[in-house]
Structure 1
Amino acid sequence: MASAKKAGGLVVDLAGREVTVSSPDKVFFDERGETKLDLIRYYEAVADPLFAAMGGRPVLLERYPNGAGGSSFFQKRVPKNAPGWLTTTVVGTVNGTTSDALVAADVAHVAWAVNLGCLGFHVWPQTADDPDHADELRIDLDPQPGTDFDTARGAAKELRTLLEEVGLIGYPKTTGKRGIHVYLRLAPRWDHYQVRSAAVAVARELERRRPDLLTAAWWKEERGERIFVDYNQNAPHKTVFGAWCVRARAGAQVSTPFGWDELDDVNPDELTIATVPERVAERGDPWAPMYDEPQSLEPLLAMHERDREAGLMDAPWPPVYPKMPDEPPRVAPSRAKQAADPPADRG
């Protein structure tokens, strides 16, 4: 990365573009004092696996103008004063509005976003060129209170077994926090609703197999000390924190892909912008085989059809979505019980 100083900042040359970086020495991560420029250098160092994972996809920016310890906000729309070379695409929202979102076209686009204080890229499951097909299934193993990353390890093993039984291969990554995401790259044949249906089927089957460890319960009061399989991360218009992207934590932890053979040993807190580039240089991209062989959703859709034929309704949707056909009531079970119980006789 070539660079040249300018008043108040630095101009860096990335992917054939000149990107202005204001306050390059501004500390973004307190634990080791890494700066805005350090973050840009990190993304340049992991550019190959980063863009294999999210290249050509729209991204939602999570901005922390004052670094990881400060306040934040999400930004979907690219500002009007963005440089003319920036690639954007139109994305929709649940309520039907549209906006021009940044496309992860190359490392210059990432650096431009980092200059705005972007410490996290949340990635759409479709490419900008094919918005109607979700070509990724993202299975979010989300630890609930009383569980931790070690619990998530056990959940990931159950998921791997299930996928293997139906002839599929999942590819895990740390979330950069306590959970694990498992991805499947799909042939671009299925829409977002079908991919969500497959995720619902996975969540329900995992809960049937290990109700002590895993839950598909949407309502928090029903989850207990189990790993929640968050199927709604696959709902239309949903984004998921990207692979190789850096969390807004003091230690600059990275959401890092890893191999199944590392599951028992991987420590998410040790995977940071200080350690991940060397890891990539030594081990390469553990997700590389995923991109070479897109998979079929049909085995999981068959599980979904089996559940529906057995009389199961659709699983609950997030509250911001319109009411869906055959969806159960959107009210927590405890509140539904209160509404159904007659008031006590005070006479």
Structure 2
Amino acid sequence: MSDSAGDPIVLDLAGRAVRITSPDKVFFPKREETKLDLVRYYEAVEEPLMATLGRRPLLLERFPDGARGKSFFQKRVPKGVPEWLQTTMVQTVNGTPSNALVGVDLAHIAWAVNMGCLGFHVWPLRVGDDGEVVVFDSATRSRIEQPDIDVEQWGGRQRRAVADELRLDLDPAKGVGFGELQRAALLLKDLLDELGIACFPKTSGKRGIHVYVRLEPRWDSYEVRAGAVALARELERRHPEQLTWSWWKEERGERVFVDYNQNAPHKTVFGAWGARPKVGAQVSAPFRWEELGDIVPDDLTISTVPPKVAAEGDPWAAMYDDPQSLEPLLALHDRDMAAGLMDAPWPPVYPKMPGEPPRVAPSRAKKE
């Protein structure tokens, strides 16, 4: 008897046989696009997709009933998976080990889509050929072959996971339109250009813009976050009417928030080329800076993005061959610390960090 969403099929992807159940199940009702359509989309953008998330741990957000249904995060790969499926051990914010899927190839992506995963929340870490998260000695900056990924403290640790991406989320406050967001992205680019750091934009797939910097594999997430904090503060100093680093929403006003905490250790960010859980099948799509003024995020879908990539190529291609130094941003961080500034607030799920100000909203602190 046939499944109402189609009988299972087996696809040959990356040299592996991947079973897709209910291939005709509608995931994106606005255009009646199915689970199989999503697999075929990822197949069409395989080269740029794997360039950005290949060999990275992935946090899965599953939507068993498609974009309109309920969802849940799956941190650990379940039992009974194909023997070829690669996983690695990472840590959650509270230090709990988690057996995460590794984005090895398109077969791993399709396996996750079959479980109802639409997009992927990607770690800023790489997994080596040995299946372990790449870590280094913080004194010598050289890789350690048998890693210890205990990275819960800012100071005192000698072995830390390498973070090779700086990720900046430009988050529009209430009342901020996409035009203001586009202008904020240019101000961010101008500052990074001044510092000699190449950066690359993508749509968030929702309301925001993400800007990425591929880093030399020499720093951990604590250092990358410190650089992001310094960058956000400098942007507000120069453009206080347009941009803010204020963690507390009551202080942001109608400005674009530069979310530095997307770089906190153990933090994942929605990955490039991933399909968002929206009925129109919108994609978090990389683009060229020259396109910024004309980009319409809602027009970038699993149907429209593949022909764009086929015609124009990967807009992030130059990023992978030219990793950047974090040193200019760490110099800004050192300047701020020397001037007496404290660390910026961390998200509430993190333990209290050294040098962090009190975790209380400014209005409440005044009352107290």
TM-score of Structure 1 vs Structure 2, range by shorter chain: over 0.9
Compute the displacement of 1:8 (Å): 3.6
Deviations 1:24-53 (A, max 9, x none): 000000111000000000000000000000
| Map of 1:30 onto structure 2 | 29
List aligned pairs for 1:197-276, cutoff 5 A. 197-276=226-305
Q: Distance in 2 between matches of 1:319 and 1:14?
A: 41
Q: Distance in 2 between matches of 1:8 and 1:291?
A: 40
Preserved CA contact (<8 Å) 1:60 1:74: yes
Q: Does 1:294 align with 2:293?
A: no
| Map of 1:193 onto structure 2 | 222
Compute the displacement of 1:12 (Å): 1.1
Identity among equivalent positions (%) equals 68
Deviations 1:283-324 (A, max 9, x none): 000101100011100001001111111111000000111111
Under a length normalisation based on structure 2, what TM-score does the superposition of the two structures give? 0.89
Q: Distance in 2 between matches of 1:168 and 1:220?
A: 29
List aligned pairs for 1:301-340, cutoff 5 A. 301-339=330-368
| Map of 2:74 onto structure 1 | 75
Compute the displacement of 1:148 (Å): 2.4
Q: Does 1:18 align with 2:47?
A: no
Q: Distance in 2 between matches of 1:338 and 1:128?
A: 48
Q: Distance in 1 between matches of 2:186 and 2:339?
A: 27
Deviations 1:37-87 (A, max 9, x none): 000000000000000000000000111000000111111100011111101
Q: Distance in 2 between matches of 1:149 and 1:114?
A: 30
Q: Does 1:163 align with 2:163?
A: no
Preserved CA contact (<8 Å) 1:212 1:226: yes
| Map of 1:102 onto structure 2 | 101
Of 151, 157, 165, which residue of structure 2 is paired with 1:136? 165
| Map of 2:307 onto structure 1 | 278
Counterpart AA for 2:252: R
| Map of 1:53 onto structure 2 | 52
| Map of 1:124 onto structure 2 | 123
Preserved CA contact (<8 Å) 1:58 1:123: yes
Preserved CA contact (<8 Å) 1:148 1:179: no
Higher alpha-carbon deviation: 19-28 or 147-156 = 147-156
The secondary structure found in structure 2 opposite 1:263 is helix
Q: Distance in 1 between matches of 2:312 and 2:106?
A: 21
Aligned CA RMSD, in angstroms, stands at 0.9
Q: Distance in 1 between matches of 2:7 and 2:367?
A: 61
Q: Distance in 2 between matches of 1:13 and 1:48?
A: 16
Compute the displacement of 1:245 (Å): 0.6
Compute the displacement of 1:144 (Å): 1.2
The secondary structure found in structure 2 opposite 1:70 is coil
The secondary structure found in structure 2 opposite 1:65 is coil
Higher alpha-carbon deviation: 48-57 or 91-100 = 91-100
Q: Distance in 2 between matches of 1:93 and 1:27?
A: 32
Compute the displacement of 1:221 (Å): 1.0
Under a length normalisation based on structure 1, what TM-score does the superposition of the two structures give? 0.95
| Map of 2:86 onto structure 1 | 87
Preserved CA contact (<8 Å) 1:69 1:249: yes
Aligned length: 333
Counterpart AA for 1:182: V
| Map of 1:345 onto structure 2 | none
Q: Distance in 1 between matches of 2:310 and 2:80?
A: 37
Q: Distance in 1 between matches of 2:60 and 2:286?
A: 21
Counterpart AA for 2:344: A
Q: Distance in 2 between matches of 1:94 and 1:115?
A: 28
Q: Distance in 2 between matches of 1:27 and 1:149?
A: 30
Q: Distance in 2 between matches of 1:22 and 1:149?
A: 39
Q: Distance in 1 between matches of 2:32 and 2:173?
A: 31
Counterpart AA for 1:9: P
Gaps in structure 1 of 5+ consecutive residues:
1-6, 340-347
Higher alpha-carbon deviation: 8-17 or 208-217 = 8-17
Deviations 1:191-236 (A, max 9, x none): 1100000000111011111111111000111111111100000000
Q: Distance in 2 between matches of 1:250 and 1:212?
A: 35
Gaps in structure 2 of 5+ consecutive residues:
1-5, 129-133, 136-160
Q: Distance in 2 between matches of 1:48 and 1:94?
A: 31
Counterpart AA for 1:85: W
| Map of 1:3 onto structure 2 | none
Counterpart AA for 2:100: A
Q: Distance in 2 between matches of 1:293 and 1:169?
A: 9
